Structure 1
Amino acid sequence: MTPSPLLAHQAALQIDSTATGWILTSTALVLLMTLPGLALFYGGMVRRKNLLATIAHSTAALAIVTVLWFVAGYSLSFGQGPDAINGLIGGLDAAFLNGVGIGTAHSLSPGLPEFLWIAYQLTFAIITPALIAGAFAERMKFSASLLFFGLWHLIVYAPICHQVWGGGYLGSMGVLDFAGGAVVHVNAGVAGLVCALVLGPRHGFGRDNMAPHNLSLTAIGTGLLFVGWLGFNAGSAWAADGIAAVAALNTILAAAAAALGWMVVEWIDHKKPTLLGLLSGIVGGLVGVTPAAGLVDPKGAFLIGAISGPACYFGAVWLKRALKYDDSLDAFGVHGMGGIVGALLTGVFATAAINPVAEGASILNQALGLVAVIAWSAVGTFFVLMICKFTTGLKVTREQEIEGLDVTQHGEGLH
């Protein structure tokens, strides 16, 4: 039987069994980050009447993005067919995974079966819109969130993924993003800020007690995110090698440094160190080191973490307090700020001694890449929100918000 011709983005599979085993494991680890990791991390931080609704956001994002990734998202993100548009977005030659087979690989990683590459990259696509939900928690209609997740994946995530990772113009101009600082965290953080501004604050914001109802759930979620992040960052080496090893160490080190940095600043500002602060600092450090994990040495990772912790505290506490916007669970404060800081510092600390790809790294390139990602994310997110506003509507009523989204949107929880 004559094999089918390869698509533009494909190579013949030359399987690396060791790498395949590691990326299979990494795929499971990154999937763990959304369910149950992020679901519990966010779920513990909302009021009890919105716990189930918040977990439902992560669950719905997983379901919707997975189906859309199969239908068109993968092809738009990593395809390079004749209908691709000038480095902005891939084509539809691999829609419904047409042309993908047991013997194909993506040209970026010919040692991995393409089906595995698709599954691994899918887990990144899943968690990105789920992160945005932290900004509109406790007030967006569930129907609106479903439409938002689907449209945002196709209009915002897929193009940015292609531009940075899939052969698009940002990757070609040397913008470095090892594991998703721009594609995932800055993208989600900026989208979250736009959502918070468009939806407006929750009823009683700044007046009512909106403290987390169960920080134990948030702590468990943080632990699951931390473990999963090893697959996120070390898996992005696409091999079980020295780069994966340094990425794993850098991930742990940066998270610890950021937790201490957040704690010190909070202790000075708030007079007491909080558990939520430590947990937020860990996540801030994980975000900050993501674009740099396999490009910097441990000294660079430590400094990125030590800077990311206070930077995320600034974004989540001081900036939000000064500008009075309601980013419910600090999607922008942690993921946006941490991603921006990490992406810029990647241009400072990336070294070819760790990864040859870092040759010629510059903070100017990183800044230009960030401007492009921020602009696309902000404009695209606003466009998607306007579609939702004039179809499903965006925000629950004041009465529904007071009663809680568990009951009013899902018919579950406390009645």
Structure 2
Amino acid sequence: MTASTLVGIQSMPGLVILYASIVKKKWAVNSAFMALYAFAVVLICWVLLCYRMAFGDELLPFLGERVATEPLYPMATLVYFQFNFAAITLILLPGSVLGRMNIRAWMSFAPLWLIFSYTVGACSFWGGGFIYRWGAINYSGGYMIHLSSGVSGLTAAYWVGPSIKSDRERFIPNNILLILTGAGLLGIEWSGFNGGAPYAASIDSSIAVLNTNVSAATSFLVWTCLDVVFFGKPSVIGVVHGMITGLACIMPGACLLQSWATIIIGMLAGSVPWASMMIIHKKCTWLQKVDDALGVFHTHAVAGLMGGLLMGLLAEPHLCRLILPKDTRCALYGGNGGVQLAKQIVAALFVIGWNVTSTLILLMIRLCIPLRMPDNQLEIGDDSVHGEEAYTIWGDGEQYDQRKHGWHAMEVTSPLS
């Protein structure tokens, strides 16, 4: 229950604050609402349907019965714990479409994606499904959470379409200090993610928490150094990206690594996604056409994929015996280690393929509801979509009235006039 609470705080208020502050002022309310709605709708769907699909006896009759780990505590605790994993996965996804997706389309898409995408993956990796039995490593969600949300976010951004030109050219955060508040909650509470995954306060839980923070710190520092070397100055938003990529990259095997391997993963987490976002994205014509608002593909999909593949190389065999259903020997430790790496690759391809296919749900929704807001709403933002504004100050998205703003207003209201 403690771990569940920590993971829940990552979503509310962590990601709610992060999303509301990292977008333009005119999209703060809309971005926070998308996260809040996802948290609520996931809980209802999870209790009514999705938990049984993912962790019950069988997902579908033709798939056969599954073999899952039974925790030594009430089922209600596991239901709530796994709900928080599902919720944060869905909340990460709209980071790719903030500031332009029709809110009604999002309200329709969120429960459908949970049922047809996330639940199937959770069954396969954690609920005793075929990937679990096969022995692919996905300790607490690098594939199931970050790769799935990053891939789905990118394909959703493609189907929804880009923001208006003014937002694409200048999409600046409205509050840097609140970004750090949201990111701080996200990072500190990550111990609930990886520390709670063994279902016990055990040796592997302690190792997971330590490795999680070492990876995040290493990635943070590497991303900062790269910003200084290439751009001449460190970026606060950059270090937030670096922290998140370090956390995402360690998740597939947080309790399966020795300290030196964790530092290597942190270094790669701070450099590979950085290169993907800062260099490859700018040179790839297709990625340039897809408006991934917060770079979710780079910070989550790339980092999660890399972490899963690295488990096929660096996971320590004795630690693997603590959580995996069969003996595992990764490539660096000899033997049949290449087989484990192959399993990691195939598992990643399954997640990518299934999530690309699942986002076709948006095409069905598009038959009834436009996926993208009309341009007149995109120009105004929160005031048009929700009738609310985040701050009671004039700014982007509001009509400029010379009677209220500028020199004319000073002339009218000045006591000297």
Establish whether TM, by shorter chain, passes 0.5: yes
Normalising by structure 1, we get a TM-score of 0.87
Cα gap change, 1:336 to 1:207, in 2 (>3 Å): closer
Displacement of 1:222 after TM fit? 0.8
- Decide whether the 8 Å contact of 1:177 with 1:292 is kept in 2: yes
Specify which of 363, 369, 378 is matched with residue 341 of structure 2. 363
Q: What does residue 39 of structure 1 align with?
A: 16
Letter in 1 for 2:300: H
Find out whether 1:27 has 2:21 as its counterpart: no
Among residues 122, 131, 156, which one is paired with 1:161 in the alignment?
A: 122
Q: Distance in 2 between matches of 1:82 and 1:61?
A: 23
Larger deviation: 236-245 or 306-315? 306-315
Which deviates more, 76-85 or 301-310? 76-85
Output the amino acid matched with 2:57.
Answer: Q
If you compute each CA radius of gyration, which structure gives the higher value, 1 or 2?
A: 2
Q: Residues of 2 paired with 1:42 and 1:207: CA distance?
A: 17
* % identity of equivalent residues: 29
Which residue of structure 2 aligns with residue 339 of structure 1? 304
Q: Give me the whole-angstrom Cα distance separating, in 2, the residues matched to 1:291 and 1:28.
A: 21
| 8 Å contact from structure 1 (residues 140, 395) kept in 2 | yes
Which amino acid in structure 2 is aligned with residue 119 of structure 1? Y
Q: Are residues 207 and 146 of structure 1, via their aligned partners in 2, closer, same or farther at CA, if it must alter by over 3 Å?
A: closer
Match of 2:367 in 1: 390
Q: d(CA) in 1 for partners of 2:220 and 2:59?
A: 47
Are positions 1:48 and 2:28 aligned together?
no
Aligned partner of 1:411 among 367, 387, 410: 387
Distance 1:82 1:249, change over 3 A: closer
Q: Output aligned runs, 1:371-390, within 5 Å.
A: 371-381=349-359, 383-390=360-367
* Alignment check: 8 A CA contact 1:42 1:329 kept: no
After TM superposition, the structure 1 = structure 2 runs for residues 226-265 of structure 1, keeping only pairs within 5 Å, are: 226-265=187-226
1:326 corresponds to which letter in structure 2? D
- Structure 2 CA distance, aligned partners of 1:154 and 1:189? 17
* Structure 1 stretches lacking a partner, 5+ long: 1-23, 91-105
Find the aligned partners of 2:208 and 2:48 in 1 and give their Cα distance: 32
Distance 1:25 1:306, change over 3 A: same
Pairwise mapping of residues 206-221 of structure 1 onto structure 2 (< 5 A)? 208-221=169-182
Give the aligned CA root-mean-square deviation in angstroms.
1.8
- Quick one: distance in 1 between partners of 2:361 and 2:122? 18
Asked if residue 140 in structure 1 is aligned to residue 105 in structure 2, the reply is no
TM-score normalised over the length of structure 2: 0.86
How far apart are 1:205 and its partner, in Å? 6.0
Structure 2 unmatched ranges of 5 or more: 331-339, 393-397, 399-417
Moved >4 Å (runs of 4+): none
| Residue in structure 2 matched with residue 10 of structure 1 by the alignment | none
Q: Is the 8 A contact 2:205 2:255 kept in 1?
A: yes
Q: Which amino acid aligns with 1:380?
A: S
Aligned counterparts, 1:14-163, within 5 A = 24-81=1-58, 83-86=60-63, 108-163=69-124
Q: Report the counterpart of residue 300 of structure 1 in structure 2.
A: 261
Partner of 1:280: 241
Q: Structure 1 pair 335/138, CA: closer, same or farther in 2 (3 Å)?
A: same
Which residue is 2:319 aligned to? 354
Which range moves more in the overlay, 261-270 or 34-43? 261-270
* Distance in 2, Cα, partners of 1:31 & 1:351: 30
Aligned partner of 1:103 in structure 2 is none
Q: What number of residue pairs does the alignment pair up?
A: 374
**In structure 2, do the counterparts of structure 1 residues 68 and 271 end up closer, same or farther at CA, with 3 Å as the change threshold?**
same
Distance 1:343 1:200 in 2: 30
Matched, 1:289 2:250: yes
The SS at the match of 2:318 is coil
- 1:93-132 CA distance string (max 9 Å, x none): xxxxxxxxxxxxx951331211101110000010111101
CA distance in 2, matches of 1:109, 1:224: 30
Q: Matched residue of 2:319: which SS? A: coil
